[in-house]
Amino acid sequence: MPTPKAYLFSPQEHSQLIPDLAALHKSCIIHDQTIAYFLPPLEDAKLQKYWEDVVKEIDSGTRFISILLNESESGTKAKGSELVGVITLIMPPSETGPFRGIVEKLFVSPDFRGKGGSRLLMNHLEAEALKRGRTLLMLDTEIGSAAEKVYPRLGFTEVGRIPRYGISPAGGLKDEVFYYKHLQVKEEGNR
């Protein structure tokens, strides 16, 4: 049975997955009514262009992407149709906050939810964030979403809520909740 595994997205190795990232993004908007930049009707070309632009930020060093691939039993990396999750970290260039990162786009395929995919992706993202000196992570999600229940289980602390924050794909305005998490730097002797 295939096992999902997290990888750091490499433009050289994974660019063929951009349409699949766009399709997963679209699926989460349609399936969950997630507030995620776009409103229906969803245009595939617009979503693909968004992910092409996100991937360009990797080379500038202002973002990285962790992907969850469903691997075959032989251990070979999966094809795009087996992309089951994604999460990104924005690393704004800031002299006063070079340790901060903003978590965005935690998407797990509806078929793989409840199987630890969010935790695998977040663990991978946190390890990569620490390698880059990012020890304070921030994120937000809409109130009442499944993600609102996930983030506290992943160690995030609620900061506050903003009413009528974003337009829902289902229509109307949704409230938003904001979280943070301080990552612990592991010392050599404590691994």
Average pLDDT over residues 4-23: 95
Spatial CA neighbour of 150 closest among 50, 55, 32, 58: 32
Whole-prediction pTM: 0.90
Which amino acid is located at 64 in the chain? F
Residue listed under structure tokens 């999460």: 87
Q: What are phi and psi of 13, to 5 degrees?
A: -95, -25
Tell me what pLDDT residue 78 has: 46
Domains of the chain: 3-138 (3.40.630.30)
pLDDT tens-place string over residues 103-122: 999 999 988 888 899 999 99
Radius of gyration over every alpha carbon of the chain, rounded to an integer in angstroms: 16
144: number of Cβ within 10 Å: 13
pLDDT tens-place string over residues 19-61: 999 999 999 999 888 899 999 999 999 999 999 999 999 999 9
Tell me what pLDDT residue 82 has: 87
Q: How confident is the model at residue 80 (pLDDT cuts 50, 70, 90)?
A: very low
Lowest mean pLDDT among 1-10, 14-23, 56-65, 118-127: 1-10
- Tell whether the model's pLDDT for residue 1 goes beyond 80: no
pLDDT tens-place string over residues 146-180: 899 999 999 999 999 999 999 999 999 999 999 99
